[in-house]
Amino acid sequence: MQFAYDVLQVLYFFLPAYLANMSPVLIGRRFSALAIPMDGGRTLWGKRILGDHKTWRGLLAGIIAGTMVFELQRFLYDTGVAQGLALFDYSAHPLLPGLLMGLGAGIGDAVKSFFKRRIDIEPGESWPVFDQLDFFLGAYVFVSLVYAPPLLLTLASLPVVLIGNIASNAVGYWLGFKKTWI
Ligand code: CTP
Ligand code: MG
């Protein structure tokens, strides 16, 4: 039971990354002036570097969402709420972990798109497992600069992240946010 609770703490820790990953989809067509492809339309070996679905708007939305969710968690921690879920001392780490998780989630997602383009998977076409875990790995690498969650527990949380992501994607599909169910 202790192990399951420890994994739950890791999942709570990465909540900013999870919301960051969802934010580009939730933002929809708003702020269209920022919907500029991050690769600027450039190609590599005749194929787009990242593709049209990786925009500055999405990256920025993730950074803002990650920071906001983390700051909410820090506020809750400071007021004594949900302290049992805390993996570390939120009071001692303002802003930066949230910012890094949001940025890391976006970069992880973009790196995955880079590889999708190389192997001819079109933007929006699914690449199971990689599509679900990209943001999480990116967030882990980036947030490790200030605090590295226990590696074994992080690995143990991957199946939950994978299934949770497929589930929320399916909900997004039914609500009309996503074009593919996986
Ligand atoms: N999105 C964005 N900018 C980002 C990341 C995501 O605008 N940096 C938006 C895009 O509209 C994208 C949607 O969020 O269609 C869902 O993102 P994701 O599932 O990660 O991308 P895919 O559509 O699958 O594209 P790719 O094949 O490049 O991963
Ligand atoms: Mg993605």
DSSP characters over 101-164: HHHHHHHHHHHHHHHHHHTTPPTTS--TTHHHHHHHHHHHHHHTTT----HHHHHHHHHHHHHH
Domain holding 38, by residue range, is: 2-157
pTM here is 0.96
Tally of domains within the chain = 1
Give the residue whose CA is nearest to atom 27 of ligand 1: 123
Centre of ligand 2 from the C-alpha of residue 36, in Å: 17
Q: Using the 8-state DSSP alphabet, how is residue 34 labeled? A: G
Predicted confidence band at 179 (pLDDT cuts at 50, 70, 90)?
confident
Predicted confidence band at 149 (pLDDT cuts at 50, 70, 90)?
very high
Domain presence at residue 101? yes
Domain presence at residue 168? no
Domain presence at residue 178? no
Domain presence at residue 113? yes
Domain presence at residue 175? no
pLDDT at 113: 98
Domain presence at residue 148? yes
| Res. 181: pLDDT tops 90 | no
Domain presence at residue 138? yes
Ligand showing the shortest atom-to-Cα distance for residue 138: 2
Centre of ligand 2 from the C-alpha of residue 80, in Å: 33
Domain presence at residue 30? yes
